[in-house]
Amino acid sequence: MLREALGLQWAVAAIVAGAIVLVAGGLLVLRMSGPPGAPFVTAGHLSAVDPRGAATVPTSSGGDVLVLRATGGVRAFLAPGRPVVWCPESRRLESHDAVWEPDGRLVGGRALSLVPLPVEVHDGVIYVNPAADEALPERPEVGASPACPR
C-alpha cells in the first residue's frame, strides 16, 4: 500500500497508456471492417442471388462459383460444371441427375460432392477463396433423386 501522494507523472502516464490503447483499437477496427484481402476474390453482388435459391456466378479470377442463400446464410461451392438449382420441396441442391445436401455433400445421383469455399460478404459484395481444400465425402447410401421438375 502506498502511503505517499503520487506525482503528476503517474496521471499523465495513465492517460498516455489509455490513448495508445484507444488508437490501436481504432486502427484494428478500421482494418478489420474492410473487404477481405487475398486470396479472396469477388464473386458478384449478393443481390444477384435469390435469397430463396442458388445461382452460379463468375468470379474476378475467371472461375465460376455456386452461391447458395436459401438456407439463411451464404454458402459457396466450386461450380460443378452443370446447371444446379435449389429445390424448395426437398430443401436440397439438384441438377438433372444429382442431388446434394445444403452443405454440398452428394446424396444421390451420378456426380461428386461439391467443394465448399470460404465465403464472406462485405457491403453487399460476395468474396470467395477459390483455393478450396476438397469435397466432402458422399453419402451413397441415401440414394436421393431430384424432386423438382426441370
| Distance, CA of 77 to CA of 57 (rounded, Å) | 10
> For the chain, what is the mean pLDDT?
86
pLDDT tens, position by position, 58-117: 988 888 999 999 988 999 999 888 899 999 998 999 998 889 999 988 888 888 889 999
Fold of the CATH domain 41-128: Rieske Iron-sulfur Protein (2.102.10)
| Cell numbers representing residue 29 in the block | 477496427
First to last CA, the chain: 80
The whole model's pTM is what?
0.73
Q: How many of the other CB atoms lie within 10 Å of CB of 80? A: 22
Q: Smallest Cα–Cα separation from 114: which of 73, 52, 44, 66?
A: 66
| Domain locations in the chain as residue ranges | 41-128
Question: What pLDDT band is residue 55 in, cutting at 50, 70 and 90?
Answer: very high
